[in-house]
Structure 1
């Protein structure tokens, strides 16, 4: 058991660290268009999530509460 604790376990930790470092560093060698962050398009979240299918009582969980303080008290 001491052999595992002193030699094998630390070696596994170092190997996992080196593998993850190589994988993360691989971005340097990617082409410029692949290394950039993903583009964000203006997509209607209500259409993507399907808010129209939800009952009216649950739509505020997806869209959030309205900005008008008078309407917030209704919820």
Structure 2
């Protein structure tokens, strides 16, 4: 058990950190159009669907 705690657990933490760092850093090598943030579409008031009033009332918990 001490072997796991002294060697394996710290190694796993370092490997997870290295993988996360690699995943974030890989954006440098992507083409410019893929590295940009996703575009946000403007919301058109006509396309917005409001929930029915009974659906909203049923989702509110009674106290």
TM-score (norm 2): 0.72
TM-score (norm 1): 0.62
Partner of 1:55: 53
Note the residue ranges of structure 2 that are not aligned, 5 or more in a row. Answer: 57-63
Matched, 1:29 2:29: yes
- Tell me how far apart the structure 2 counterparts of residues 54 and 13 of structure 1 sit (CA, whole Å): 48
Note the residue ranges of structure 1 that are not aligned, 5 or more in a row. Answer: 59-75
* Counterparts of residues 1-75 of structure 1 (less than 5 Å): 1-44=1-44, 47-48=47-48, 50-51=49-50, 53-55=51-53, 58=56
Q: Which has the larger radius of gyration?
A: 1
> Deviation above 2 Å: which 4+ runs of structure 1?
43-48
SS at match of 2:26: helix
Residues 10/54 of structure 1: CA separation in 2 closer, same or farther (3 Å cut): same
Say which structure is richer in helix: 1
